[in-house]
Amino acid sequence: MPAPQRSLCYKRILLKLSGESLMGDKYSGINLPTLKDIASEIHSVHKLGIQIAIVIGGGNIFRGAKSSDYSIGRVMADYMGMLATIINALALKETINTRGSAATVMTALEVDRVAEPYRRERALSHLDKGRIVIFAGGTGNPYFTTDTAAALRAMEINAQAILKATQVDGVYDLDPAKEPAAKLFSRISYEQVLRKKLRVIDLTAISMAMEQQIPIIVFNIGKRGNIEKIISGYKVGTLIAGEGNER
């Protein structure tokens, strides 16, 4: 007898990956085993029929917010950070493709010899055809984080949820790296995140998600299988949503 079909919570998700998630145990750059693990997990979820879009950061290569350390102006540094996201996106795309899922890169910062320019209609077409779409280049504008880009793209493609991958288990009331007694929230409202100024995700991104009532699940990307658990309905990490928006 065939196994019963799994009930999935979401049909289309926006996965937000930081550049640091690709580092593994390195101090910078891309750790190949980590890249392969993440690509394999994305491929496994994609095989379930989930439409996946990804926004990726570039902090493993260059972070614009720390540009003063290099005596580089913020605007130019942010463009350098956008270029770093394109490098990460191309690496992830190629690795996903080797796993058997079709992936493509679209970028807000146009480099048409290596990636498609971002066009909403084209992105929706890719998703409907079963391709994983990786959005690079942030919003294409300085002063905006890739978290904000993730919220923007999620709104544009009508994603049902934003999955925010981090190096910790979710949203805490205090920094868990500094405070052993920090409390992990299983659920918290958009308003509470804004009021408490919890910095696990950019506050502009929180405001945008709140406006459109897009739930955000903050989870630990280092624990393999978490993405599949989330889309299968398991309570993983922290759910950020409206007070009455139960999962």
Element (H, E) at 95: helix 74-99
pLDDT (mean) for 143-147: 94
> Which two structure tokens, joined as six digits, stand for 162?
């934003």
CA–CA separation, 87 vs 91, rounded Å? 6
DSSP result, 175-228: -TTT-TTPPEESEEEHHHHHHHT-TTS-HHHHHHHHHHT--EEEEETTSTTHHH
> Cβ atoms within 10 A of the Cβ of 26, count?
13
pLDDT of 247: 39
Per-residue CA distances from 48 to 29, 34, 190, 232, 247 (Å): 30, 22, 29, 10, 19
Say if 247 falls within a structural domain: no
CATH number for the domain spanning 68: value is 3.40.1160.10
Say if 132 falls within a structural domain: yes
CA–CA separation, 88 vs 108, rounded Å? 14
Say if 3 falls within a structural domain: no
Q: Which amino acid is at 212?
A: Q
Say if 104 falls within a structural domain: yes
Tell me the residue range of the domain where 202 lies. Answer: 12-241
Say if 22 falls within a structural domain: yes
Say if 28 falls within a structural domain: yes
pLDDT of 68: 61
Say if 178 falls within a structural domain: yes
pLDDT of 69: 67
Q: Which of 17-21, 23-27, 178-182 has the highest mean pLDDT?
A: 17-21
The single residue listed with the structure tokens 């003063």 is 68
Query: How many structural domains compose the chain?
Result: 1
Q: Is 239 helix (H, G, I), strand (E, B) or coil?
A: strand
91-129 per-position pLDDT tens digit:
999 999 999 999 999 999 989 999 999 999 999 999 999
Say if 33 falls within a structural domain: yes
pLDDT at 1 over 50: no
180-205 per-position pLDDT tens digit:
889 999 999 999 999 988 878 899 99
